[in-house]
Amino acid sequence: MVRINGEDLDAGGKSITEYLNSAGYDLMRVAVELNGNIVPKALYADTIFKNGDSVEVVSFVGGG
């Protein structure tokens, strides 16, 4: 299990890109923190979640 935004999900073995797409996130409007470190967008496709990982996904919203 991978803890994503405080929820345990069966996402082990998925890349960040796969998870974000399946969860309906807009890849251009999010930041991903994996185990306390921000992951550069260029590495999303190559970064694979492992069981026990802790992930925070933050969406950016426009407005003022």
**How many H helices and E strands in the chain?**
1, 5
Strand order across the 54-59 sheet = 7-9, 2-4, 54-59, 30-34, 37-39
- pLDDT tens, residue by residue, 11-42: 999 999 999 999 999 999 999 999 999 999 99
* Residue 18, pLDDT score: 98
